[in-house]
Amino acid sequence: MSFIHRVKFMTAIVVALVLLLGAGSLLAQAPPSKADTAAVVNANSQFAFDLYRNLNADKENKGKNIFVSPYSISTALAMTYVGSHGKTQKQMAATLHFSLPMDKLESGFSGLLGETKATPAKHYRLEVANALWGQKNYHFDPNFTGAISKYFDGGFNTVDFISPGAREESRSKINQWVEDKTSGKIQDLIHREDISGDTRLILTNAIYFKGDWAAKFRKEQTKNEPFHIAPSKTVPVPMMRQMGDFPFMENGELQMIELPYAEDELSMVIILPAGDVEAFGAGLTLAKLKELRGSLNRREVEVYLPRFKFDTRYSLSNALAAMGMPEAFEENVADFSGMTGKFELYISAVIHQAMIEVNEEGSEAAAATAVIMTPGKSIRQEPPVFRADRPFIFLILHKPTDSILFMGRLSSPQAAEGGTTGK
């Protein structure tokens, strides 16, 4: 089968914890249930919008592209949460919107990870991987490492962070794992300055997605058109175009469209505000998204979407502390005693790196998937135009679970074509 457009999404996150008490064993496994998985999805989605609003409000991100995988970040922090206790655990639960008891939360994540991994028979790739990287000869509670292996499919790897030479070798080993799990798209995730001789444990999550539009754009219809970065500033962008039937809605505040991928199990939701995208993003919530998606109706739409590509890298420690879990980052205060049986670990860094590319490859079979069914004998109305020629917000959804896998904002496609890196 030939494909015209290939859309690639991938991200990786690493949480580095420097050991600095406690005890307690992890609860036993509970059987996976749809209710537990649904609760985890809801928690992750609530966290996704909290994080987006935080990044949107950051002055350093003004006018810049944003792209993260809240799914990846939630998963990595959930593994960390498994080893937490006391006030640290309560703060993390509030920030991550975790309401289930530990055994059901672990079961819910296990169920979600199983549902979101694509089988070889799918016409898209969606891969999720977790791993622990612990200092050799350092004691980690087998209840903790066992729970990560059992519920998160995260294997434990022994490395050496103490001596400089071995530390660099360990960093390279972890970065290579991330690169392998993201088909080479996320490279050099952990920088030299991110770890030290005090590092004792790193938890990693990597997620990779590659899919084809269910209704493909025709490459020959892509033309350079203006993109309005600001009222007084435009840049030329390669604008893709097609006419097709899509879930669509519009009101005085915005337009929204949902573009499905092959097999209709994943989709890109694009929100095009009529006004300032950053002002709109400040009030965007999960409830708002559900309300808007509930208003979508399938109809013929003329779609204009820019081709774009960019990558981002964030240090999220300050953001997460501000969102409600400061104790996790405080030396001699954080309680991750479930990891080691001692009161000594705290989170020293949360690093998130992601990239997205939307482009065209080839032109075969485009016409067949772009066929428009003409209404019968009724009077034909001109289809609405969805023209993404100004900043917009987009999400990648896993429809069977309703999980938000990726979320971002395209503010500067000119910078995107050049592959700019975020802070």
What is the predicted pLDDT for the residue at 3?
A: 36
Residue 363 lies in a domain: no
Question: Is position 370 within any domain?
Answer: no
Note the helical H segments in 211-358.
277-281, 286-294, 317-322, 337-340
CA–CA separation, 3 vs 363, rounded Å?
A: 7
* Nearest residue to 327 (alpha-carbon basis) of 133, 80, 131: 80
pLDDT of residue 118: 73
Is 373 contained in some domain?
no
What do you get for the CA distance between the two ends of the chain, in Å?
39
Distance CA 386, CA 409 (A): 17
Are residues 337 and 223 part of one domain? no
- Looking at the fold, whether 270 and 160 belong to one and the same domain comes out as no
Same domain, yes or no, for 245 and 337? Answer: no
Does residue 140 sit in the same domain as residue 19? yes
What local confidence, expressed as pLDDT, does residue 381 receive? 56
Distances (CA, A) of 84 to 26, 77, 87, 131, 365: 10, 10, 9, 18, 53
Q: What is the pLDDT of residue 13?
A: 40
Looking at the fold, whether 139 and 260 belong to one and the same domain comes out as: no
- CA 143 to centroid of chain Cα atoms: 28
**Distance from C-alpha of 92 to C-alpha of 77, rounded to nearest angstrom:** 8
Both tokens of residue 132? 């622990």
| Segments forming the whole domain that contains residue 252 | 219-306+387-411
- Report how many domains make up the chain: 2
pLDDT tens profile 164-186: 889 999 999 999 999 999 888 88
Q: Is 331 among the domain residues?
A: yes
Domain assignment of residue 369, yes or no:
no
At residue 124, the pLDDT reads 80
What pLDDT score was predicted for residue 302? 94
Structure tokens at 154: 């995260």
Long-range contacts formed by 176-184: CB under 8 A, 24+ apart:
177/131, 177/204, 177/206, 178/12, 178/14, 178/204, 178/206, 181/12, 181/127, 181/129, 181/206, 181/208, 182/10, 182/11, 182/12, 182/206, 182/207, 182/208, 183/10, 183/208, 183/210
> What pLDDT shows up at residue 311?
87
Statement to judge: residues 288 and 187 lie in one domain: no
> Is the residue at 418 inside a domain?
no
C-alpha 327/C-alpha 146 separation (Å) is 25
Residues 139 and 115 occupy one common structural domain: yes
The pTM assigned to this predicted structure is: 0.87
Per-residue pLDDT of the chain (423 residues; tens, 9 = 90+): 433 333 333 333 444 433 322 223 333 444 578 999 999 999 999 999 999 999 999 999 999 999 999 999 999 999 999 999 999 999 999 999 999 999 999 999 999 999 888 777 777 888 889 999 999 988 899 999 999 999 999 889 999 999 888 999 999 999 999 999 988 888 889 999 888 888 889 999 998 888 889 888 988 899 999 999 988 889 999 999 999 999 999 998 999 999 998 878 889 999 999 999 999 999 999 999 999 999 999 999 999 999 888 888 898 999 999 999 999 998 888 999 999 888 888 888 889 999 888 744 322 111 111 111 112 234 445 678 888 899 999 999 999 999 999 999 999 886 555 443 444
Q: Are 119 and 101 within one domain? A: yes
> In sequence order, which residues have a C-beta less than 8 Å from that of residue 241 and are 6 or more positions away?
217, 221, 222, 223, 302, 303, 304, 305
| 316 and 301, same domain (yes or no) | no
User: Tell me, what's the pLDDT at 417?
Assistant: 57
Q: Does 255 reside within a domain?
A: yes
